[in-house]
Structure 1
């Protein structure tokens, strides 16, 4: 299946940087940095913009889709007016067909932060791409010419495109089987249906001869989630929201996108960038670059197939529903990451929650409390022009009287920290569980209990049938021969 496997005997050698080498590539920084995070639809961009306007700040976007030109509606870019009211960086500067990696982003984002600091302004990192945020703030992804990461491995040989095309033509089960054979440790940490991550790990191994699990272990060293936080004077604001309210917001957000011209934007972009790409041999690929944006894969049939009027309406409604489901799933993933990888990582700063559930109370429960938090949590000194802890913006009565908010304690998190021990429940259709915690929860679930009871009834019925058959055979054996 994979072309040129006989030529894949070359291996890319790499070594993990010592602590001193890593620090030499990017020094620890005492200048202030604000990070605003939250799930899609929670209101993090709104808060970052408002704070940037009053704190002499500039926003560094940490969104892997917003780096590309076009698709402003799909990727939910801030408007030109908003960008003019507060400078934004790393938005809409790449061609949609250009390859861009987390390593590229890391270097550019850190350069941008250094530039903002050099002009005595406040960098405000805001975005929903978790690994982009990690790459800026923590040391373990730091790279230079003497280290290799998964991104550089993927670009190191011209055979890469051929390998990727062949992998894309494989089924998810075939990819997972290949990963289990070549990197069982990594396979044990991934769900068989997580096609993107499985394919990435297989691709790294085939191109470099390096197991992805070994590479990740080298990057992380002895720390569970990598190296130290690079910025000492930092504050995290997590814009939270009641999940039911957030789910409703996500659905309404998709509806607003449709009203703003989502379909026209998708159709125009498809004609300009995507149509020729899909005309090439092989299945449609929505795993790389801007084509990963939620909306493309969901609207694939609607955009590509010649449908009758009735069918087109049906596919449109199906696509809209799929987009809402995908967006909500992504929002839940973001919340899980924030609990697990931000609040509870070994080396982090305080994470302060602000609740955006009720938009009418935004100023009272989000904006003013955020200013009060920043006044006390950041050492302003003379780092930012015109801003100190005694600045008028911090001494307004509404800020002084704002609700006191404590940082989220690590013990408050309920993420699954149980050992990884992959299991498959054949009673429930082959459902896969990666941790002891997931398995324990599943065993107590209504579905598993129903499936177990059903299987017991089936086995009981089978045993009764076999027992009756056995009795019949015994009776027949005792009957006199008619002959």
Structure 2
């Protein structure tokens, strides 16, 4: 069950629970203010001469960063926020930066973007090699500069915490792994960041992720992977090959290539062997997706423990509701989910971002 996107739910979420309506609330002042006047500092070198040096106080650009494990609702939060605070979104999912495999990498659709501009989403040619954190720091920094120049709020959203770290720290050393515990995490940032951490109880999240894999398969994930494996350049696409689903279905697609008719019995039904390999692949995808979520949570805890000011928003109850809603088409259940999502996730998120933007 995907977290639903619906234009009809956005405005009520912005006005419900006494949240201000969607309109500019002077959030652009930090972006277009002229630099303050220079402060003259006297530097006495001797009794007969003085030197005056102009010192400018540079204000860091404000950036909202939405973090969380895969499948926790970060994308939905980013769209809801972006439609209320005029924003543009920068993807920080290391698999979604590449062109192709839109279902497998779970990219947000054009329709669900609701007109919000997205950057670094499906823009990198997978044949050009793997995108490094240093590459992302450069590209993401340019995207932030462009968004700020348009007097919009940059929202960085994605589950790849290594990319987020590379983007926002003041001094980034690509040779150091700050997540293995052997190197300290810097709290010196090159942007004025508001970190939103969307958290879901791990058992609840795993149940949801397993259902989401089934939904992705129903949406054509296997057909997409079959086409990918049949392409000439797929073997050279180092980065995209790491997407969950690509290696897991490798053995299945090698033994049962598309259009071969292998593994089909009377009436075109799959034989037992084909069904078993398919089910093993799906099981592996679900297990690896949950393990990915666990690693992502571990990295977030590492950043929080190092002193990053992460504002945690608990989406657990809303996910319990969405799981029930997926099994019950009753509209009352969907309304209940919307109420819980608005109360537990969007209300605190809106307040956090609003306060962040109001502080000079």
TM-score by length of 2: 0.70
Counterpart-to-counterpart distance in 2, 1:217 and 1:327: 22
Counterpart-to-counterpart distance in 2, 1:103 and 1:78: 25
Aligned to 1:302, which of 218, 238, 252?
Answer: 252
Q: How does 1:336-351 map onto structure 2 within 5 Å?
A: 336-341=298-303, 343-346=304-307, 348=308, 350-351=309-310
Displacement of 1:258 in angstroms is: 0.5
- The CA RMSD measured in Å over matched residues stands at 2.4
Does 2:86 align with 1:107?
Answer: no
Aligned to 1:362, which of 333, 341, 348?
Answer: 341
Counterpart-to-counterpart distance in 1, 2:151 and 2:112: 21
Relative to structure 1, the CA distance from residue 320 to residue 274 in structure 2 (aligned partners, 3 Å threshold; closer, same or farther) is farther
Does 2:205 align with 1:246?
Answer: yes
Over 6 Å off, 4+ runs: none
Displacement of 1:223 in angstroms is: 6.9
**Structure 2: 5+ residue stretches without partners:** 1-56, 257-261, 264-270, 319-336
Q: How does 1:70-469 map onto structure 2 within 5 Å?
A: 70-99=100-129, 100-141=131-172, 149=174, 215-216=175-176, 224-226=184-186, 228-231=188-191, 233-273=192-232, 277=235, 288-306=238-256, 308=263, 309-341=271-303, 343-346=304-307, 348=308, 350-359=309-318, 360=337, 361-379=340-358
Structure with the largest fraction of helix: 1
Higher relative contact order (CA 8 A, sep 6+): 2
Counterpart-to-counterpart distance in 2, 1:124 and 1:32: 9
Counterpart-to-counterpart distance in 2, 1:259 and 1:29: 48
CA contact (8 A) 2:127 2:233 kept: no
CA contact (8 A) 2:66 2:157 kept: yes
The Cα offsets for residues 333-376 of structure 1, whole Å up to 9 and x where unpaired, read as: 111110112x1124x3x211111112210001110111111222
Counterpart-to-counterpart distance in 1, 2:142 and 2:255: 44
Counterpart-to-counterpart distance in 1, 2:184 and 2:223: 45
2:89 corresponding residue in structure 1:
59
Displacement of 1:317 in angstroms is: 0.3
Counterpart-to-counterpart distance in 2, 1:94 and 1:133: 17
Displacement of 1:299 in angstroms is: 0.6
Displacement of 1:29 in angstroms is: 5.0
Counterpart-to-counterpart distance in 1, 2:124 and 2:87: 24
The Cα offsets for residues 392-442 of structure 1, whole Å up to 9 and x where unpaired, read as: xxxxxxxxxxxxxxxxxxxxxxxxxxxxxxxxxxxxxxxxxxxxxxxxxxx
Displacement of 1:217 in angstroms is: 8.6
Specify the SS of the correspondent of 1:294: coil
The Cα offsets for residues 22-71 of structure 1, whole Å up to 9 and x where unpaired, read as: xxxxx975221101111111111100111011100111100111111110
CA contact (8 A) 2:92 2:159 kept: yes
The Cα offsets for residues 107-160 of structure 1, whole Å up to 9 and x where unpaired, read as: 010000011111111000100111110011002326xxxxxx4xxxxxxxxxxx
Counterpart-to-counterpart distance in 2, 1:239 and 1:262: 26
Which protein is bigger by CA-based radius of gyration?
1
Displacement of 1:236 in angstroms is: 0.8
Structure with the largest fraction of strand: 2
Counterpart-to-counterpart distance in 1, 2:177 and 2:283: 39
Counterpart-to-counterpart distance in 1, 2:177 and 2:276: 47
Counterpart-to-counterpart distance in 1, 2:144 and 2:240: 24
Counterpart-to-counterpart distance in 2, 1:49 and 1:112: 18
Does 2:73 align with 1:43?
Answer: yes
